[in-house]
Amino acid sequence: MAYGLLVTNDDGDVLIDSDFMHYHFLGKYTHSSVTQIPDISGGSDSSVTVSGNSPNQNKGMQNMPSKGEIYIYSVPVNGSNPPMCFIKPTSTGSSAPFAGIVLTKQSGTNWEIRVFQSTVTSASPVLYCFSPLSQVSNSTSTTYGLKTFDSSGVVTFDSRFKPLRAVGGGSITSPGLAHTGSTGSSWNVSLSVNASSVSTSFTSQSSASDLIYYCPSLAHACQQYTHEEDDSGIESWTSYAWARGDVWWCFYRSCFRIASTSSFEANYGVFARGHIYEHKGDTTNVFAGLILGALTGGAYFAAILATLAAAGSFTSAGVDGGNYLPYENSYRNTSGNAFIISKASYYD
Amino acid sequence: MAYGLEIFDSSGNTTFSTVDSTWTLLGVYTSNADTSTTHTGVPVMPTRIVTRVMVDQISGDDESYVHTFSLSGSTLTTTAPSSSETVKTVFMVFGK
């Protein structure tokens, strides 16, 4: 640089460079509302009270894992650059829920931020948000401190507005599948998150409960369990035939937690879930006609799913529509996710 | 601290310290949905990290890929894994 201020440490790391915008504290925000993705649940029954061993159990959301919650925040920062929002989790440690930002969206002069937490808790995560000075409208009467300008005279660093102080960081990769092993048996589904958490370390700090982290959720996984049965025969001198096919699925989003004073972990929470089925029966020997579309390719299920999703069940929840079954038993976006650690006490 | 820089407010509280390994924002770059984009002019610092944020809500019907990237010198190359189901992604490059 020809002029200005450049502060480095003995490792050569740049700590302050007046040529670049630094992030400063915007404020601390609590959520304005909480929501969940509504379940998609339903099916088609047709004359299923026929004789024989036609199964009627578990046609709802029985045995499905619990969903996490979505906390909605409105951050008043007007500008094209999204704020950096650090999560102050509800708790830390190896049993703490996982949480991650799943939505960043400009809404008028605010940015809407949504935080997904893997389990429902009585306490709520709090956001500590930062932005470049050009997007910070806070005022101060303090005359102490250090202020730097770039060559155009734009303020790039101002200690009066609490510059972001990062105490650690790195990169973390989310697990692949959220559920490993068997996904169910007969009419009983098993799709809970059982993947091992991925852990990475950062510079050790004195208190885990004081830490806040920035790590938007990128990864997601979608897994399903299907089961189909059919039977036919004669009972009480009457022919019977039935067929039933079910699909259960969960859509998982990646989320994170402070596991200790030096450990950051990634895993998944159940973001959305569904269960649909088709069940047919008859008392005549027309079994061939009862073979479901699902049994031959899933077109029948697709029609039921489309009907349920189009019924508008998402409207009241303020979440985007869709069936949350965009792919089967796979995952996306798990690769290196940068994270930054800071301390809440710096800004409280 | 034995050496370095500490900045205090009028109450004597530390507002910034070189003990903390802070990060400087070098640039914000946006790659639109379904589009691979090369961003140039990224400032160089000894250590850099790139954070990614998916902007706007992902659709429950899409595979919702995030752009992948590589950062070399002053060039940030971002790639849309899918030409129809990659979300708009904001890249924030930090350095120290």
- Where residue A311 falls among pLDDT bands split at 50, 70, 90? low
Q: Identify all chain A residues contacting B23, using CB atoms and an 8 Å cutoff.
A: 164, 166, 169, 340
Flag if B49 and A143 touch (Cβ within 8 Å): no
Flag if A82 and B23 touch (Cβ within 8 Å): no
What would the mean pLDDT of A154-174 be, rounded to a whole number? 88
Phi-psi region of A145 (alpha: psi -120 to 50; beta: other; left: phi over 0): left
Task: Give the pTM.
Answer: 0.90
Q: Which residue pairs from A142-145 have beta carbons closer than 8 angstroms and sit at least 24 positions apart in sequence?
A: A142/B9, A142/B10, A143/B10, A144/B8, A144/B9, A144/B10, A145/B7, A145/B8, A145/B9, A145/B15
Q: Identify all chain A residues contacting B85, using CB atoms and an 8 Å cutoff.
A: 326
| Segment among A86-90, A233-237, A301-305 with least mean pLDDT | A301-305
Predicted local distance difference test score (pLDDT) of residue B8: 80
Q: Identify all chain A residues contacting B59, using CB atoms and an 8 Å cutoff.
A: 320-322
The domain locations on chain A are 6-346
Tell whether B84 is within 8 A of chain A (Cβ): no
The domain locations on chain B are 23-95
Predicted local distance difference test score (pLDDT) of residue A268: 98
Phi and psi, residue A255, nearest 5°: -155, 175
Tell whether B54 is within 8 A of chain A (Cβ): yes
The minimal CB distance from A20 to the residues B3, B43, B50 is found for B43
The minimal CB distance from B7 to the residues A17, A146, A324 is found for A146
CA distance A239 to A234: 4
Flag if A159 and B7 touch (Cβ within 8 Å): yes
Under 8 Å between Cβ of A193 and A65: yes
Predicted local distance difference test score (pLDDT) of residue A138: 74
ipTM, two decimals, is 0.88
The minimal CB distance from A82 to the residues B10, B50, B53 is found for B53
Percentage of chain A beyond pLDDT 90 is: 49
Of residues B95 and A240, the one with the higher pLDDT is: B95
- Where residue A169 falls among pLDDT bands split at 50, 70, 90? confident
Q: Identify all chain A residues contacting B20, using CB atoms and an 8 Å cutoff.
A: 165-167
Under 8 Å between Cβ of A50 and A282: yes
The minimal CB distance from B22 to the residues A10, A15, A21 is found for A15
- Where residue A145 falls among pLDDT bands split at 50, 70, 90? confident
Of A248, A251, A267, the residue nearest A319 (C-alpha): A251
Flag if B24 and A251 touch (Cβ within 8 Å): no
Predicted local distance difference test score (pLDDT) of residue A228: 84
The minimal CB distance from B16 to the residues A80, A104, A159 is found for A159
| Segment among A168-172, A330-334, B77-81 with least mean pLDDT | A168-172
Which of helix, strand or coil describes residue A208? helix
Residue listed under structure tokens 């003995």: A10
State how far residue B55 is from chain A, nearest Cα, in angstroms: 5
Of A116, A122, A129, the residue nearest A91 (C-alpha): A122
Nearest CA in chain A to B18: A15
CA distance B34 to A185: 39
Tell whether B41 is within 8 A of chain A (Cβ): no
Tens-place pLDDT, residues A102-117: 999 888 889 999 999 9
Predicted local distance difference test score (pLDDT) of residue A185: 96
Q: Identify all chain A residues contacting B28, using CB atoms and an 8 Å cutoff.
A: 80-81
The minimal CB distance from A14 to the residues B3, B61, B96 is found for B96
